[in-house]
Amino acid sequence: MSGTLYLCATPIGNLNDITLRTLETLKAVDLIAAEDTRHSRILLDHFGITTPMTSYHEHNKYEKAGILVEKLLTGMNLALITDAGTPAISDPGEELVRQCLAAGISVTSLPGPCACITALTISGLPARRFCFEAFLPSEKKERRQVLEELKEETRTTILYEAPHRLGKTLAELCEALGERRLTICRELTKKYEEGWQTTLSEAASFYQENEARGEFVLVLEGRSAQALAEEKAREWEQMSLPEHLEFYLNQGMEKKEAMKQMAKDRGCTKREIYQGLL
Ligand code: SAM
């Protein structure tokens, strides 16, 4: 019988946020895999947990996940903790989960703190539908691509950012997306927690002037669905008649229906559209 991998969420600032089940599990398992064993030692010492630890981080995750899977296959139970928050959310946990599932090992998650959800709940922005972008890619082309996609994203978007890159990221977001409401969540669950309800332009100019300190989550308003629909509906203005037809055909319309819609868009008759297309 193989053991179980327990994903244990740990506090993102306030040690009291650890759950009773996480404490019991960290005491009971045979081994704890931690992103930074020195950092996690402080947490474990605080709660009197003496379970042995091993390191599992971004730079050893592929081969170390294999070693941990071997241990689980012998029947050992393992807990995974990362520097803070929920393992597998924007940290190396994902790879271990993937390898465990591929080896038929049972994986369970003990819910607890997670910076993105904590930020969303205090943002004051719509929380019914949201998307999580984590850190924007650092590679230029990929980053541009994500910024392009965000232009059309109508859901509230949650981003992580390191303090030394915050000013640059806010300036780029502002340039790509224009004005949007934004809540900057800083030092969540800690003594100086802040939730600043601002806008992209105000935050970008503030962080041009002021150094960012602490940990940040950005919660960004989605694009207005109505404005997006209006923009889409006007796209034909830049198109020739055949392009306009193609546009609707690509959306799955029948030719007749497309020509009717084209006439409506252009304020002319279907006959004029037909003749124009000849
Ligand atoms: N697994 C973690 C989770 O569940 O949220 C996230 C790990 S990710 C590597 C670290 C990022 O989370 C930080 O750069 C910051 O953007 C965000 N973060 C973590 N703790 C935070 C806090 N107390 N306040 C604000 N943001 C935090």
Is the CB of residue 159 below 6 angstroms from any atom belonging to ligand 1? no
Cα 85 to averaged position of ligand 1 atoms, centre (Å):
7
Look at residue 227 in the predicted model and tell me its pLDDT.
84
pTM: 0.86
> Does domain 116-222 fall into CATH 3.40.50.1820?
no
Q: What does the block give as tokens for 63?
A: 């081969």
Between the alpha carbon of residue 123 and those of residues 191, 194, 197, the distances in Å are: 18, 10, 7
Q: Calculate ∠ Cα 48-53-57, nearest 5°.
A: 130
Helix-helix angle 255-266:241-250, to 10 degrees: 130
Q: What is the pLDDT of residue 223?
A: 94
Q: What is the pLDDT of residue 195?
A: 98
Boundaries of every domain in the chain: 4-113, 116-222, 234-277
| 219 in Cβ contact with 156 (< 8 Å) | yes
Pocket flag, ligand 1, residue 7 (CB < 6 Å) = no
166-177 vs 200-209: helix axis angle to the nearest 10? 150
Q: Which helix (H) or strand (E) holds 109?
A: strand 106-110
Amino acid letter at 42?
A: I
From the CB of 35, is ligand 1 less than 6 Å away? no
* Nearest one of 171, 145, 173, 148 to 159, comparing CA atoms: 173
Nearest ligand 1 atom to the CA of 159 is: 16
Residue count (the chain): 278
Q: Tell me the CATH number for domain 4-113.
A: 3.40.1010.10
- Longest pairwise C-alpha distance within the chain: 83
Q: Is there an atom of ligand 1 within 6 Å of 217 CB?
A: yes
Is the CB–ligand 1 distance for residue 204 below 6 Å? no
Q: Contacts by 22-26 with C-beta closer than 8 Å and gap 24+? A: 22/110, 22/112, 23/47, 23/49, 25/79, 25/110, 26/51, 26/79, 26/81
| Sites in the chain below the pLDDT cut of 50 | none
Q: What is the pLDDT of residues 129-158, one digit of tens each?
A: 999 999 999 999 999 999 999 999 999 999
Query: What are the C-alpha distances in Å from 74 to residues 2, 66, 78, 94?
Result: 6, 13, 11, 22
What is the atom index within ligand 1 of the atom nearest the CA of 89? 1
Q: 263-275: per-residue pLDDT in tens?
A: 988 889 999 999 9
pLDDT of residue 79: 98
Please state the atom number of ligand 1 nearest to the C-alpha of residue 93: 1
Task: Say if ligand 1 is within 6 A of residue 82 CB.
Answer: yes
According to DSSP, residue 10 is labeled: B
- How many A from CA of 152 to the centre of ligand 1? 26
Q: Is 134 in the pocket of ligand 1 (CB under 6 A)?
A: no
**Ligand 1 and 12: CB distance under 6 A:** yes
Return the pLDDT at 266.
87
* 3-state class (DSSP) for residue 91: coil
How would you classify the pairing of strands 194-199 and 216-220? unpaired
In 3D, which of 258, 231, 263 has the Cα closest to residue 246?
258
Q: Which residues contact 75 (CB under 8 A, 6 or more apart)?
A: 1, 2, 3
Q: Which of 217, 218, 219 to mutate to test the pocket of ligand 1 (most atoms within 8 A of CB)?
A: 217
Q: In what order do the strands lie in the sheet with 181-186?
A: 130-134, 156-161, 216-220, 181-186, 194-199
Please work out whether the CB of residue 166 comes within 6 Å of at least one atom of ligand 1.
no
95-109: pLDDT as tens digits: 999 999 999 999 999
What is the spatial distance between Cα 231 and Cα 89, in angstroms, rounded to a whole number?
A: 34
In this predicted structure, what is the pLDDT of residue 251?
84
CB 6 less than 6 A from any atom of ligand 1: no
Ligand 1 center to 115 CA (angstroms): 5
